[in-house]
Amino acid sequence: EIVLTQSPATLSLSPGERATLSCRASQSVSSYLAWYQQKPGQAPRLLIYDASNRATGIPARFSGSGSGTDFTLTISSLEPEDFVVYYCQQRSSWPWITFGPGTKVDIK
């Protein structure tokens, strides 16, 4: 099983600041990595797929990078609605997809 580790567990920032979230895989997943955003009481929403492609309707302030085992989600300037939880997910080993434990972005 490919294990994903996310850091930090919690990121405390202010609106307008830049957020950098990390996801590390226990073995190479090539570029087969996605990022999801989950707001309280809602289903996850796909933000980024194949490490760096924004999903339909996702604002340009969200960007992804990385390959192999190290990946980054960057939010260039935090909006109030961005202070929620983010998960990474690998699809390198379908059907054995796995999610990271999540990073919570909260208001400083």
Query: What residues line the site for another protein (CB under 8 A)?
Result: 34, 36, 38, 42-46, 49-50, 53, 55-56, 87, 89, 91, 94-102
Shortest separation between residue 55's beta carbon and another protein, angstroms: 6
Query: Is the CA virtual torsion 23, 25, 26, 28 positive or negative?
Result: negative
- Closer to another protein at the Cβ: 34 or 73? 34
- Closer to another protein at the Cβ: 78 or 89? 89
Give the separation between CA 62 and CA 21, rounded to whole angstroms: 11
Shortest separation between residue 96's beta carbon and another protein, angstroms: 8
Give the separation between CA 35 and CA 102, rounded to whole angstroms: 10
Shortest separation between residue 46's beta carbon and another protein, angstroms: 5
